[in-house]
A and B are shown apart, each in its own frame.
Chain A
Amino acid sequence: MAQNSAPDSTPVINTRAGDKSAGTPKITEDDEFEVTSPTNLTFRQSNSGAVPPGTALFGGSAFTEGGSQTGGSLFSRSPFQDPEGEEDEQEGELAPLPGLSAEQGLPTNYALGRRTSVSAESLNPTEAGSDSWSPPHHPKTEEQVSRLKSAVSSNFLFSHLDDDQSMTVLNALVEKPIPAKDIKVISQGDAGDYFYIVEKGNFDVYIHPSGAVQPGPDGLGNKVASIGPGGSFGELALMYNAPRAATVISTEPKSTLWALDRITFRRILMDSAFQRRRMYEAFLEEVPLLSSLKPYERSKIADALDTIKYTANSTIIHEGDPGDAFYLLESGEAEATKNGVSGPVKNYRRGDYFGELALLDDKPRQASITTKTDVKVARLGRDGFKRLLGPVEGMMRGAEYELDSKRSPVSKAA
Chain B
Amino acid sequence: MVFSKINGNLHHREKQLVESLRHSPRSSNPFLITERQDEKQLCISSRSLHVNDFALVKTLGTGTFARVWLARLKDQKDKDKVYALKILRKADVIKLKQVEHVRNERKALAAVVDHPFITTLIASFSDEKCLYMLLDYCPGGEIFTYLRRQRRFSEEVSTFYAAEITMTIEFLHDVHGVAYRDLKPENILLDADGHLKLVDFGFAKQVDNRETYTLCGTPEYLAPEVIQNSGHGLAVDWWALGILIYEFLIGQPPFWDQNPMRIYEQIIEGRLRFPPNMPAAAQNIVSLLCKTNPTERLGHISGGSTRVKSHPFFQDVIWDDLFYRRVKGPIIPRLSHPADTGNFEEYPDPPDLRNTNIYTEDLKKKYEPLFSDF
Q: Measuring CB to CB, which residues of chain A are less than 8 angstroms from any residue of chain B?
A: 1-8, 19, 36-42, 56, 58-59, 61, 63-64, 66-70, 73-77, 79-80, 82, 86, 89, 97-100, 104-107, 109-112, 114-125, 156-157, 160, 235-236, 239-240, 242, 266, 269-270, 273-274, 277, 296, 299-300, 303-304, 384, 386-390
Q: Tell yes or no: B262 within 8 A of A by CB.
A: yes
A236 CA to B202 CA, complexed, in Å: 22
Q: Which residue of B lies closest to A56 (CB)?
A: B261
A110 CA to B303 CA, complexed, in Å: 36
Q: Tell yes or no: B310 within 8 A of A by CB.
A: no
Q: Which of A37, A156, A269, A390 is B229 in contact with, Cβ under 8 Å?
A: A269
A73 CA to B269 CA, complexed, in Å: 34
Q: Tell yes or no: B35 within 8 A of A by CB.
A: no
Q: Would you call A387 and B302 a contact (CB within 8 A)?
A: yes
| Sampled A-B contacts (18; CB under 8 Å) | A1-B68, A1-B344, A2-B187, A7-B64, A36-B258, A41-B262, A58-B259, A63-B219, A67-B64, A97-B252, A117-B202, A117-B203, A119-B101, A235-B261, A240-B215, A266-B215, A277-B231, A296-B209
Q: Tell yes or no: B372 within 8 A of A by CB.
A: no
Q: Would you call B260 and A4 a contact (CB within 8 A)?
A: no
5 A-B pairs with the lowest CB-CB distances in the bound complex, closest first: A3-B63, A67-B62, A1-B61, A5-B64, A4-B202
Task: Encode contact with A along B141-166: 1 for CB under 8 Å, 0 otherwise.
Answer: 01011101111100000000000000
Task: Encode contact with A along B166-207: 1 for CB under 8 Å, 0 otherwise.
Answer: 000000000000000010101101000000000110110000
Q: Would you call B261 and A123 a contact (CB within 8 A)?
A: no
Chain A residues with Cβ below 8 Å from B219 are 63, 115, 118
Q: Tell yes or no: B66 within 8 A of A by CB.
A: yes
Q: Would you call B261 and A61 a contact (CB within 8 A)?
A: yes
A401 CA to B274 CA, complexed, in Å: 47
Q: Would you call B302 and A86 a contact (CB within 8 A)?
A: no
Chain A residues with Cβ below 8 Å from B186 are 2, 114-115
A207 CA to B369 CA, complexed, in Å: 43
Q: Tell yes or no: B37 within 8 A of A by CB.
A: no
With contacts A269-B228, A277-B211 taken as known, whether A117 is within 8 angstroms of B151 at the C-beta atoms is: no
Q: Tell yes or no: B363 within 8 A of A by CB.
A: no
Beta-carbon contacts under 8 Å, B82-108 to A: 84, 86, 96-98, 100-101
Chain B residues with Cβ below 8 Å from A86 are 149-151
Chain A residues with Cβ below 8 Å from B98 are 4, 6, 119
Query: Min CB distance, A231 to chain B, in Å?
Result: 15
Q: Would you call A75 and B345 a contact (CB within 8 A)?
A: yes
A74 CA to B344 CA, complexed, in Å: 9
Q: Would you call B302 and A118 a contact (CB within 8 A)?
A: no
Q: Would you call B302 and A66 a contact (CB within 8 A)?
A: no
Chain A residues with Cβ below 8 Å from B296 are 384, 387
Q: Which of A4, A76, A273, A389 is B200 in contact with, Cβ under 8 Å?
A: A4
With contacts A2-B187, A97-B250 taken as known, whether A121 is within 8 angstroms of B264 at the C-beta atoms is: no
A121 CA to B148 CA, complexed, in Å: 32
Chain B residues with Cβ below 8 Å from A274 are 211, 213, 231
Chain A residues with Cβ below 8 Å from B301 are 387-388
How many positions in chain B have a CB within 8 Å of any CB in the partner chain?
Answer: 87
Task: Encode contact with A along B6-45: 1 for CB under 8 Å, 0 otherwise.
Answer: 0000000000000000000000000000000000000000
A80 CA to B147 CA, complexed, in Å: 11
Q: Tell yes or no: B268 within 8 A of A by CB.
A: yes
Q: Would you call A273 and B231 a contact (CB within 8 A)?
A: yes
List 19 additional A-B contacts (Cβ < 8 Å) besides A4-B98, A303-B294: A2-B63, A2-B199, A4-B101, A4-B202, A37-B258, A64-B64, A79-B148, A89-B151, A106-B254, A106-B273, A110-B256, A115-B186, A116-B218, A117-B216, A118-B218, A235-B261, A277-B211, A299-B209, A389-B302
The DSSP consensus for interface residues of chain B is: loop
Q: Would you call B295 and A303 a contact (CB within 8 A)?
A: yes
Q: Would you call B295 and A388 a contact (CB within 8 A)?
A: yes
Q: Would you call B262 and A68 a contact (CB within 8 A)?
A: no
Chain B residues with Cβ below 8 Å from A8 are 64
Q: Which of B61, B184, B231 is A115 in contact with, Cβ under 8 Å?
A: B184
Most buried by B among A77, A240, A304, A387: A77
Most buried by B among A40, A76, A242, A299: A76
Chain B residues with Cβ below 8 Å from A240 are 215
Most buried by A among B184, B200, B211: B211
With contacts A106-B252, A240-B215 taken as known, whether A386 is within 8 angstroms of B302 at the C-beta atoms is: yes
Q: Would you call A1 and B84 a contact (CB within 8 A)?
A: yes
A2 CA to B68 CA, complexed, in Å: 9
Chain A residues with Cβ below 8 Å from B84 are 1
Chain B residues with Cβ below 8 Å from A242 are 260
A69 CA to B228 CA, complexed, in Å: 31
Query: Min CB distance, A398 to chain B, in Å?
Result: 19
Q: Which residue of B lies closest to A88 (CB)?
A: B151
Q: Would you call A121 and B214 a contact (CB within 8 A)?
A: yes
Chain B residues with Cβ below 8 Å from A69 are 348
Chain A residues with Cβ below 8 Å from B231 are 270, 273-274, 277
A106 CA to B231 CA, complexed, in Å: 29
Chain A residues with Cβ below 8 Å from B276 are 99
Q: Which residue of A lies closest to B333 (CB)?
A: A77
Q: Would you call A39 and B259 a contact (CB within 8 A)?
A: yes
A69 CA to B65 CA, complexed, in Å: 14
Q: Would you call B214 and A120 a contact (CB within 8 A)?
A: yes
Query: Min CB distance, A176 to chain B, in Å?
Result: 22
Query: Min CB distance, B8 to chain A, in Å?
Result: 33
A61 CA to B261 CA, complexed, in Å: 9
Query: Min CB distance, B103 to chain A, in Å?
Result: 10
Q: Which of B68, B228, B278, B295 is A300 in contact with, Cβ under 8 Å?
A: B295
Q: Would you call B252 and A4 a contact (CB within 8 A)?
A: no
Q: Would you call A5 and B65 a contact (CB within 8 A)?
A: yes
Q: Would you call B189 and A1 a contact (CB within 8 A)?
A: yes
Query: Min CB distance, B237 to chain A, in Å?
Result: 15
Beta-carbon contacts under 8 Å, B248-288 to A: 250-252, 254, 256-262, 264-265, 268-269, 273, 275-278
Q: Would you call A160 and B268 a contact (CB within 8 A)?
A: yes
Q: Would you call B96 and A2 a contact (CB within 8 A)?
A: no
